[in-house]
Amino acid sequence: MKYYDLLMHDVRFKEASTACMNCGVCTAICPAAEFYKYDPRQIMNIVQSRDDKKIEDLLRSETIWYCGQCMSCKTRCPRGNVPAMVISVLRRFSQELGFFIVSEKGRQQFAVKRTVGDNIINTGYCVHVDHVSPKLHPEQGPIWKWYVENAEEVADRLGANYNKYGAGALRKISKENLDEVKKIFDVTGGSKLYEDIEQYSAEKAKSLKMSIDKEGLNNEYFFHTYIENSNNHQK
Amino acid sequence: MTEKKHFWNEYQKEIADDNYFYERSCIRQSFFPGSETAFLNILRNELGLTIIDDPNQHTCTGIGYHSDVVPFDTTMTICARLFSLMTDKELTNFVPSCVTSFGIFTEVIETWAQFPEELEKTRQFLRKATGREFKVPENIAHPSDIIYKYRKELKKKMKYQLVNCHTGKPLKVVEHIGCHYAKIFSKHSVGGAEFPQVLAGMIEEWGGQVIDYPERRHCCGFGFRQYLVMANRGYSVANTKKKFESMEPYKPDFVLTNCPGCTMFMDRWQYTIAEMEGKTYDEQQMGIPVLTYEELTGLLLGYNPWDLGFQVHQVQVEPLLDKLGIKYDLKDKFTGVTGKYLGEPEKPEYLKVCYE
């Protein structure tokens, strides 16, 4: 199947890419285009060309990982297109086809999966106080460190129900609810995408002779994808 | 100005009166749990409204979805499960606490409206995975929409106004509505992306002056994977820096935010910029306080600042409390739920703080 036809399998691509006239308003408003060597107008142009070789190059590229998903392009496009959503669809197939491990920014999906991705399945939260360690987040500052070290005292003072069953902020989510979340991931392709990211990342880690482990953050490949920056991305 | 106000009247949205299902936010409950507590207290105790906080809820997957590790089919079905919890309670008004979640739920519902086969597919997925059924919400309101709707009623109960008690002049406020509140579907926001009114309406009603500055609509810089991965955080801080450089000449007294992520980033990146570059955007080297709309509402109603959660902000709010004429007990600031004194956080090297 040609890549363009594959992209059309995603409802978001149908909705987000209709007769782009390449005016470049998306690039003008884009925060990522100001920071990175990034031009959403060109991406829309390539996708619209339906050129298989060029689309595969995109799927293997750094450029599709630069978008920050702010959706400013959605507001401004005079034709109602959504380049950020086209980017999401390209990222989906880059991961499903294993092309994401070719690029430095693409490989970072492993770090995102091992943090936010696994948090969802294991705890029912994308992010929770316990997930934001001061070591991995020095920018959070000393008050965050104090909060994390005194999490139950501080959060519960603010009305939370920290890591306890029942209603309330930061509550522990029951096994019954987590089981339903996991079943939804199994039925809808969420678990399969996690497996794809893990499998292709394990191959890359092996080629780099780095440890990866079956889960968790305490391995060489996680820190490689979390910290590595060639500094070859900015304008 | 009159013409402008008339123009945004076209962008009013319907906000349900009562009987809400509350969907908590991963980021808000982690970084600003006091804001979610305050919102529920304000609705129940000040306005006498009904809002359900269901223990069976979970993430909408929004951060995972926008960082592209969660497929759209999965996100739609996770949203459907949350809607089934709402349906179980015989409610139809859905209130997501997060701007990212608000964007996710509106995107999912708009997709279902435009592509009914996607709705049917989602129903089948949810049935197969959990045996659950659901109704699509009749009304989706961000919590700030509800505060905005009842801003006049709340004003009658407020003990303080957004006025500098020393000068008698209105406080100057920068508002930031967050990209996913209005940029995806303007029709679901108050005022749209062009003339955002949801926070501006509160500020003006409560006596403050809204600052319009060049980068008012620019992203805070979260960028999802651009913050989640340490190697990419330069993107995130650069965006916040751009906003603060743009607002600096207007000397705002504080920033009011809609989205919990924006609140956190605009607070924490001020600390980072101060420590990295020896630069703050105020004249006292303390930074510009960043408040959630729940915190602001609670403050003006007379709630204890340390029950609202200002002690977990890196940029200190005491200078703002002084301007508002609000008394506070510094001994209470670092005290936990059991009454235990927890000690003080370490001090930053450059950014000034209100503890020893």
pLDDT in tens, B226-281: 999 999 999 999 999 999 999 999 999 999 999 999 999 999 999 999 999 999 99
Contacts of A70 in chain B (CB under 8 A): 179-180, 183, 219, 222-223
**Which residues of A fall within a CB distance of 8 Å from B130?**
180, 183-184
Average pLDDT over residues A70-86: 96
Q: In angstroms, what CA-CA distances link A43 with A2, A22, A28, B98, B325?
A: 17, 10, 14, 30, 53
Task: Inform me whether the C-beta atom of residue B337 falls under 8 Å from chain A C-beta atoms.
Answer: yes
Q: Is A133 exposed, middle or buried (0-12, 13-18, 19+ CB in 10 A)?
A: middle
Q: Is B59 on the interface with A (CB under 8 A)?
A: yes
Q: Where are the domains of chain A?
A: 3-97, 105-227
- Is the pLDDT at B9 greater than 80? The verdict is no
- What would the CATH number be for the domain defined by B151-333? 3.40.50.11810
Nearest Cβ partner for A160 among B33, B221, B224? B33
CB nearest to B27's CB, from A113, A127, A159: A127
- What does the pLDDT read at residue B86? 98
Contacts of residue A176 in chain B, CB cutoff 8 Å?
56
B354 touches chain A (CB under 8 A): no
> How far apart, in Å, are the Cα atoms of B194 and each of B187, B188, B198, B222, B275?
11, 13, 12, 21, 34
Q: How near does any CA of chain B get to the CA of A53, in Å?
A: 23
Residue range B13-143, CATH number: 1.20.1050.140
Q: pTM above 0.95?
A: yes
Distance from CA of A51 to the nearest CA of B (A): 24
pLDDT classification of B12: cutoffs 50, 70, 90: confident
CB < 8 Å to A16, chain B: none
Minimal-distance CA residue of chain B relative to A124: B58
Q: Which of B56, B68, B308, B351 to mutate to test the interface with A (most CBs of A within 10 A)?
A: B68
Nearest by CB to residue A187, choosing from B114, B125, B313, is B125
Confidence of residue A208 (pLDDT cuts 50, 70, 90): very high
**Axis crossing angle, helix B72-88 with helix B99-114, rounded to the nearest 10:** 100
Contact B64 A120 (CB under 8 A): yes
If you classify domain A3-97 with CATH, what class do you get?
mainly alpha
Q: What is the pLDDT of residue B123?
A: 98
Check if the beta carbon of residue B288 is closer than 8 Å to that of residue B323. no
- Has residue B2 got a pLDDT over 60? no
Which of B26, B269, B347 has the CB atom closest to A128's CB atom?
B26
Size of interface A-B (CB pairs under 8 A): 270
pLDDT at B356: 75
Contacts of B8 (CB under 8 A, 6+ apart): B191, B192, B194, B195, B197
B92 touches A at CB < 8 Å: no
pLDDT one-digit tens code per residue, B31-64: 999 999 999 999 999 999 999 999 999 999 999 9
pLDDT score of A18:
86
CA quadruple A110, A111, A114, A118: dihedral sign: negative
Would you state the pLDDT for residue B80? 98
CA distance B67 to A179: 23
Helix (H) or strand (E) holding B95: strand B93-96
Q: Give me the interface pTM, i.e. the ipTM.
A: 0.98
Do the chains contact at B36 and A180, CB–CB below 8 Å?
no
> How much is the mean pLDDT over chain B?
96
- Band (A19; pLDDT cuts 50, 70, 90): confident
pLDDT tier for residue A125 given thresholds of 50, 70 and 90: very high
Average pLDDT over residues B80-107: 98
Percentage, residues of chain A above pLDDT 90: 97
What are the tokens at B251? Answer: 């000397």
Nearest-Cα residue of chain A relative to residue B228: A112
As a whole number, mean pLDDT of residues A101-111 equals 98
Cβ-based neighbours of B11, under 8 Å, separated by 6 or more: B186, B187, B189, B190, B191, B192, B194, B195, B197
Q: Do A183 and B130 touch (CB under 8 A)?
A: yes
Please check whether the two domains, B13-143 and B151-333, share a CATH topology. no
d(CA A74, CA A228): 31
Higher pLDDT, B7 or B282: B282
What pLDDT sits at residue B194? Answer: 84
Of the partner residues B74, B228, B307, the one whose CB lies closest to the CB of residue A184 = B74
What ranges do the domains of chain B cover? 13-143, 151-333
What's the pLDDT score for residue A176? 98
- Name the percent of chain A in helix, strand, coil, to the closest 5: 60, 0, 35
Structure tokens at B338: 């059991």
**Closest residue of chain B to A140, computed from CA coordinates:** B268
- List the one residue out of B203, B194, B192, B190 whose CA is nearest residue B15: B190
Is the pLDDT at B6 greater than 80? The verdict is no
Q: Name the residue in chain A with its Cα closest to that of B36.
A: A169
Q: How far apart are CA A105 and CA A110, in angstroms?
A: 10
Q: At what angle do helices A220-227 and A190-207 cross, to 10 degrees?
A: 100
